[in-house]
Amino acid sequence: MKLLTFFFVIFSVIINLNADGVQPIGSGLYTDPYQVDVLDNLLWISTNDTSWDAHFIQISDIDASETVNWNNGEGFSPIGSEDSLSVPFTGNYNGQTYSISNLFIDRLNNHTGLFGYVYDGTIRNIDIQNANITGFLYVGILAGKIQDSDLSNINISGIVDGSYTVGSLAGVSVSCEIDDCSCSVTVFGGSYTGGLIGRNSYSELYNSFFIGNVTGIVSTGGFIGENSYSDIDYCYCVGNVEGASPVGGFIADNFQGDISKSYSIGNVDGFNLTGGFIGVNQGESILQQCCSAGDVTGQGGVGGFIGNSTGSSSYDHTIENCYSIGNVEGDHFVGGFVGSTHFSNIYNCFSNCFVNDANYLGGFAAFSTYAIIENSFWDIETSGQTISDGGTGKTTAEMQDVATYTLLSTIGLDDPWDFVGNPFNDTGYEDYWDINPEINDGYPFLTALQLVGIQEEEIPHISPMNYNLSNYPNPFNPSTTIEFSIQNDSSIELSIFNIKGQKIKTLTKNDFTKGQHLIPWKGVDDFNKSVSSGIYYYKLKVNDKTEVVKKCLLLK
């Protein structure tokens, strides 16, 4: 017995010699978890991968401000990895709602976050405040990648920036259950950028929300960038979303994901496949009791609710009891509810969006093939359009009258909508809809959501600093000038990205004095070759941290 104790002590000494920080009190067992009390305890966890299968419990607030000076400026080293050794975090971390504030990471590598890679783990009751996280692939404030794990009761605020697969909660989620998570974050990314999660698959999300502005390039969504084979219920996002293609106020690209009782509020600015709720919706997905509120701007395939919706020949692709409000502007295939739809079922939906004049437009749908659009309406007065490839146009007074949706003598109504109180003897008892002159401008609203419509003060403007980034002329040919201002002497990197999210030109990477600066771009790449016509993005990084991304248009 004494010999066994001796070897245990020696083993513990060896571990501690190879780990920085201070080992927390406890043994890491379920009955005796490590007690995380100070920042040095977190340091010990991050540098001691033999503890990544243990149980942890946080017992006090932790200020991680010192991490900005760690590891030659790279900050905190994430807990869990998926490198050649593949040592993920497989343990249990219970934050007990204590905070971890001012966490800093700036690493141009994969799996960046408080946790780098979590596999078959459990994380709950964590409050991460004012984090500043920068990475390359799989970047999130809580975790770079989570797989086969459970997350619950997590609060996050701060800034996150990456190149591929970026979100405030996690860069990527696979086969996870996520419940009661909230993030108030500014998100910058390249490909697959989402307010909450960059890429999400085979997962279940409940009772979670994101508040903040999201800027990306490919597959940019206010809540999730790319979603597949996942169920989402009672979730929402509030904030502006800007990207290239596809772009969605809630999800950019949804493939066979079922979404219910969820909404997005905010303006959406994209190129092709741009929607107030979803940019492109594919496969045998079901959307029900969802709505979007905000202005939507794009070029092709633009809709107040969905840019492009494509189901299967079996007609299992269904959208029901949904609506959109706001302005919709684009160049072609522009619709108040959906830009274009194929092999889809759309029931009991409406839009009161303004729709600008475009090639192929519609008050409700601009273009539909092999689609069923029934019991659905659009406002011919607010939209400014009397034509649609599906749906029935009504006046504003008719759109605000419950009889339009429940009285079977209404033109365009085959079955009554299910309203509270069963007006005109509608046969439903689920009470999906209600109507009140003081709610949603008098239009029907979903009882599960009870939104009053978009309010300007609800849209967050939480970018940490205004650098007045712009370019002129825009559109341009053959050159443009990018202008920015800084309030202090700073290290500046200004780069150009194409619509695929690939960096094509570094305009400058130098120290600048405070004040206003002008940088020309002659429409060439790093090899001094002229680039083709199209949309490009310019990204300003101040002191190695992305602050602003804007877009410009080259026309030849």
pLDDT (tens digit, 9 = 90+) per residue, 432-485? 999 988 888 899 999 888 654 444 444 443 333 456 788 888 888 889 999 888
**Which amino acid type is present at position 173?**
S
What is the predicted pLDDT for the residue at 146?
Answer: 97
What is the phi/psi pair of residue 426, to 5°? -65, 150
CB atoms within 10 A of CB 29: 10
> Residues 6 or more apart from 511 whose CB is under 8 A from it?
489, 490, 491, 492
Which residue bears the tokens 């004095």?
A: 513
Q: Hey, which residues does 179 pair with through a beta bridge? A: 152, 206
Distance CA 39, CA 140 (A): 20
Given this chain, do its domains 1-239 and 470-554 carry the same CATH topology?
A: no
Residues 6+ apart with CB under 8 A from 482: 469, 470, 471, 494, 507, 518, 519, 520, 521, 538
Q: What distance in Å separates the CA atoms of residue 491 and residue 394, rounded to the nearest whole number?
A: 56
CA 121/CA 51 separation, integer angstroms: 13
Angle CA 80–83–89, to nearest 5:
15
User: In this predicted model, what pLDDT tens digit does every residue of 369-423 receive, in sequence order?
Assistant: 888 999 999 999 999 999 999 999 999 999 999 999 999 999 999 999 999 999 9
Tell me which residue of 55, 49, 103 sits closest to 80, measured CA to CA: 49
What is the residue-level pLDDT of the chain in tens, covering all 556 positions? 444 444 444 444 444 444 589 999 999 999 999 999 999 999 999 999 999 999 999 999 999 999 999 999 999 999 998 875 679 999 999 999 999 999 999 988 889 999 999 999 999 999 999 999 999 999 999 999 999 999 999 999 999 999 899 999 999 999 999 999 999 999 999 899 999 999 999 999 999 999 999 999 999 999 999 999 999 999 999 999 999 889 999 999 999 999 999 999 999 999 899 999 999 999 889 999 999 999 999 999 999 999 999 877 655 689 999 999 999 999 999 999 999 999 889 999 999 999 988 788 999 999 998 889 999 999 999 999 999 999 999 999 999 999 999 999 999 999 999 999 999 999 889 999 999 888 888 999 998 886 544 444 444 433 334 567 888 888 888 899 998 888 788 889 998 887 666 788 999 999 999 888 899 999 999 999 999 887 787 888 887 766 667 777 787 7
CA distance 78 to 87: 12
User: Buried b / exposed e across 103-141, counting CB within 10 Å, b at 16+?
Assistant: bbbbbebbbbbbbbbbbebbbbbbbbbbbbbbbbbbbbb
Q: Assess if CATH 2.60.40.4070 describes domain 470-554.
A: yes
Q: Where are the domains of the chain?
A: 1-239, 294-461, 470-554
- Residue 16's CB is within 10 A of a number of other CB atoms, namely 14
**What's the CATH code, domain 1-239?**
2.160.20
Go through the chain and tell me how many residues it has: 556
For residue range 185-232, what is the model confidence (pLDDT) as tens digits? Answer: 999 998 999 999 999 999 999 999 999 999 999 999 999 999 999 999
Closest CA to 249 of 231, 229, 227, 267: 267
